[in-house]
Amino acid sequence: MKVRCPDCDGEIDVPDDAIAGEIVSCPDCGQEYEVYFEDGELKLKPAEMVKEDWGE
């Protein structure tokens, strides 16, 4: 399934068997998105970045 990147309008190929919480990335801009479903429709939201705390 193909969807448009919300950031650069590039084409993202999302697997047909994608599940909520899966991470996909845009091949054009590199932005990562989390897959979720709303009213049965596949949607993308920016993936949360986990930062290193380096023991702090």
Tens-place pLDDT, residues 27-42:
999 999 999 999 989 9
For the chain, domain boundaries = 2-46
Determine the Cα–Cα distance for residues 48 and 45; give it in Å rounded to an integer: 9
Average pLDDT of the segment spanning 7-26? 94
Q: What is the mean pLDDT of the chain?
A: 90
Q: What is the pLDDT of residue 49?
A: 73
The set of residues, in sequence order, having a beta carbon less than 8 Å from that of 13 and lying 6+ positions away, is 1, 2, 24, 27
